[in-house]
Structures are given as structure tokens and as C-alpha cells.
Amino acid sequence: MNKNANKTNNNKKRIMLVICAITAITAGAVRLFYTPIGGRDKTPHAQYLTLTDRFTHDTSSFTEGLFVRDGELYESTGRKGQSKIMKNIDPTTGIPEKATALSDEIFGEGATYYNGKIYMLTYKSQKGLIFNGETLEQQQALSYPREGWGLTTDGEYLIASDGSSNLYFMDENFNTLKTLKVKYKLRSVRNINELEYING
């Protein structure tokens, strides 16, 4: 009886292996002969990552803006009562060389370096903040007509997102000079948040 049970189990295993092999071959053949319109296969491919190190970070603050300038790491954080702008953060301790806390009612958002100053958005306070680029001393708080989400620069404009499908190109006083609606395949891309401008 044990021999029969073993034979049955072995047969089941063989059948499963054959099914798996046929499935793999079929999937490979479909992929081999399938070319989407436009000629390029746009199927997402798995990416594998390896953890190489861990760095300390203050878990009471949410990272909203992050940029590097002259080899120094800057971070703007959000959370009422915890929002701040920080400079030259030590990756081993998480302690910044300089930091400026925002008032308790403000939820900080994206930040970027532009024309010698740091510009930072606030989530729902409708304020754009300007800091000294070296000392992090707050210099101005200007009116801002939208929710603040992401912020970057192309070197000519400040570029902001507000969670819609729009990018707002602004001057140094947060005045909107032009708006760009982001679309993919004729559909608006909503919830645009963190912005990076590469080679800007």
C-alpha cells in the first residue's frame, strides 16, 4: 500500500512538473512572438535589490523634500509640530548640522535650492517659505494659492505640484507664470507629488 501511495505521489509530482514546464514554455513563446504596436515590449520587468546599508532617520518626521547641494544633504520634513528644514545630515546618526523648525501649525512639504535660497512649500497653510541657503534662517513667508506637494527647479523656474495633474512654473515669489498639464496616453496623470529635475 505504501508503494502504491508513493507511486501515486510520484506520478502527481511528474504531472505537476510537466504542467509547469508546458506553462513556462508557452509563456516564453508568447513573449518571444508578441511584439506590441510600436515595436517595444513595455512589460514591466522584475528588479531585484540588495540592501547594502542602513541609516538612522528621525521617525517622528516625514521626509517631504530631499536634495543634495555641494555634497551636502538637505531635507524638509512634514508633520504638524515636527516640520523642519535640515542641512548636512550625518547619515550615521541622522543628526543635522543645522535645522530650523517650522511653527507647530505648519505641515512642511517639498523644498529646493534656487538662486541662493531654499524654497519650501506647506501642505494646507497656503504659504511658501523662503530660507537663507546657508544659515537656514527663515526670511519670508509668502502667500501661496494651492496645496503644496512637490517642489523642484529647472534653474529658471520653481516647479511645483499640488496633487492634481498640473505642474506650476513659478517665479521666486511663488507667482505662477505658466501651467503644464501632465498626460499619459491622452489621460491626465493625477496625484503628482515628489518632483526631481535631472541635469537642471
Q: How far apart are CA 140 and CA 145, in angstroms?
A: 16
Domain count, the chain: 2
Q: Say if residue 9 is in the same domain as residue 87.
A: no
Q: Say if residue 33 is in the same domain as residue 124.
A: no
Q: Say if residue 7 is in the same domain as residue 75.
A: no
In angstroms, the Cα distances linking 175 to 27, 44, 49, 144, 155 are 53, 39, 41, 8, 16
The pLDDT value given to residue 56: 81
- Strand 84-89 and strand 96-101: the pairing is antiparallel
Task: For residue range 32-74, list pLDDT tens digits in order.
Answer: 444 455 556 667 777 888 999 888 888 888 999 999 899 888 9
Q: Say if residue 116 is in the same domain as residue 79.
A: yes
User: Looking only at Cα atoms, what is the longest distance across the chain?
Assistant: 86
Spacing of C-alpha 58 from chain mean position: 18
Radius of gyration of the chain from Cα atoms?
Answer: 26
Task: For residue range 111-143, list pLDDT tens digits in order.
Answer: 999 999 999 999 999 999 999 999 999 999 999
Beta bridge partners of 140: 130
* Residue 19 within any structural domain of the chain: yes
Residue 183 has pLDDT above 80, yes or no: yes
Range(s) of the domain holding residue 17? 1-43
Q: Say if residue 95 is in the same domain as residue 3.
A: no
* Residue 57 within any structural domain of the chain: no
- pTM to 2 decimal places: 0.74
How many CA atoms lie less than 13 Å away from 39 in the CB half-sphere?
0
Q: Say if residue 39 is in the same domain as residue 73.
A: no
Q: Say if residue 9 is in the same domain as residue 102.
A: no
Question: What CATH code is carried by the domain that includes residue 66?
Answer: 2.130.10.10
